[in-house]
Chains A and B, each alone.
Chain A
Amino acid sequence: MADAKVIPFDDDRSRAGGGAVQRPQRRRGAGSRLKGEPAVVREVQPLPGRPIKQDDVPVTHEEPEAPEGPQKSQDGGLERRIAGGLAFLRKRLTGDYEVDDFGYDAELTDQVLMSLLRPVYEKYFRVEVKGIENIPSEGGALIVANHSGTLPLDGLMMQVAVHDHHPAGRHLRLLAADLVFMLPVVNELARKAGHTLACAEDAGRLLSRGELVGVMPEGFKGIGKPFGERYKLQRFGRGGFVSTALRQGTPIIPCSIVGAEEIYPMIGNAKTLARLLGFPYFPVTPTFPWLGPLGAIPLPTKWTIQFGEPIPTDGYPPEAAEDPMLMFNLTDQVREQIQHTLYKLLVQRRSVFF
């Protein structure tokens, strides 16, 4: 692993060797690193080899991201990260940070929660994102996606996809079921990550503030459906999301997620146990609950998230939001577009895992 990562580093050195301006800067960078290293070695005496390796990993890791300025990641990279980390720590310890009315902690989400999800996103599910340009750079928009996978990992992956890939660095505000806000720890993290309760008031308030809102109208019907019904969209609730978007005049962006349906192949549902625990369903998969916590590891499927063409809603008169026929038609249009894209992506997919 470490070997593979050193290659771009050497590659960079040979490229940077051509530029006379970059050379001294690089050397200065290496010098400062040398100064830092002995200190570390002194600190961690019993393992003299390891700190150097650890030192190397983040540096080489940063290089492919910023090949234009190798001196940047060399010179102050680590120190800046430490300084940034300490500044972050100071702010957290003294409570000197801000959250919005919904409890969204932008700083924590950017620096901690997203970094925790990113390895799952990049390495485990190897998510491929398509059509990110369909999300507007500013103003409210409602992203409507299919829901599956027993645990709402698809929502979180969609959040990382928007956060990491959208050129304007937009944040997705997900609407979650009330169960999320009843569970301890989960509710706290959900609020801090910018999620809020799936209700018309909250959705409307977020959209009117120009936020990007993500909703999965299938709800528990979608996420808790058996494996045999994978990629078959369930009913889209009562279509409340359409009237909310229409009232705010924000576009609806259909989103199709392929891969999430196979992470936990649900072959059964222990309904009595679910009722006992107060959950909407209790999944039984080939591995869960038989293997205990080990069985709760999702299958490493390959994911594709496709954002579709926006459906505008600003052409309708304000009273249209009260018209049930129009709501059903628009809901069906969104649903069909997602279903259609799902089938198309499934045909293109080579295998579930690659």
Chain B
Amino acid sequence: MKRLLSTAALLLASTSFAFAEGELQLFNWGDYTNPELLKKFEDETGIKVTLTDYDSNDTALAKVEAGGGGYDLVVPSANYVQIYVTKGLIQELDLSRLPNHANIAPEWMEVPWDPGRHYTVPWQWGSVGMAVNSDAFSGDINTSAIFLDPPEELVGKVNVHPEMNDVLSLALMYVGGEACTEDTEMLKKARDKLLEAKPKWQSMDYGMTTKLATNDVMASSYWNGAVFRARLQNDKVQFGYPKEGFPLWMDSVALLSDATNVDEAYQFLNFIMEPENAALISAFARYANGISGSDPFMPEDMSDAPEILIPQEFKAAGKFLPTCSAKAQEYYTAIWTELLK
């Protein structure tokens, strides 16, 4: 027993020596961080990265706000960045410590949620659109009608991903409104449309990468990268961009105000803006990254993927979701509750 204890103590001591070079606590979405990226970072810098998962912006915000998590970096979506800034939860970046900051692609530099990128650096961005199995339906898939007015072939076979903001925004754009609107006429139209469509849905679930690939679900509203991953396993899965309007999103990395490993965090932020490393991020979750010069390092099948390159004709329909006002959020929740009751 005694020997066991001393061995354990020795083991503990040796591991903590290995970590002595520094550590970093990354708080990021689940199934979103390439392990190879973390390994490469660890090999280059000796900094050990601990990854903690979350499943929604609200969970992340609540945990960060509660404090005591010991996280250094968090990856909020565009419409949450200003909430973090307003609440003082993330700190302004010292850009002189981030030489690779210049690698941020120009179109991702002057973004409305963080003009000039003083708080966040790009992680990945993508869109919400329609995944459709071409065996089940061969008509026009570039429309939200896929789930809001399902064609006969898809009745009872459509999934809707239960992400309140995405679904309500898609519905609002479909009936001619805008995301986060407080216009009750539009909200009413969107609600009626959703209530009318719901009996034609099969399910409201996540995990569509697998379900689309295995033909368990024939159509779904979903995120582009996940649909891309489904297509790699099942080439019948197509991705459509709703012409009535579809949400764009970007998740960016921010440095928390109560971060303890600030130096390590700066090293990591600079590291991920290196084109080669940004490409590693994309290679895993299959979304674009927002760093210029990363294309040559991307996996070959991504350079011409229709899920990643938005066709010119649909580009204008893609809209970044704003941060909804409390009033709009109340409308959203009320409609969502009525939809799922």
A binds B: no
Enumerate chain B interface residues (CB-CB to A < 8 A). none
Enumerate chain A interface residues (CB-CB to B < 8 A). none
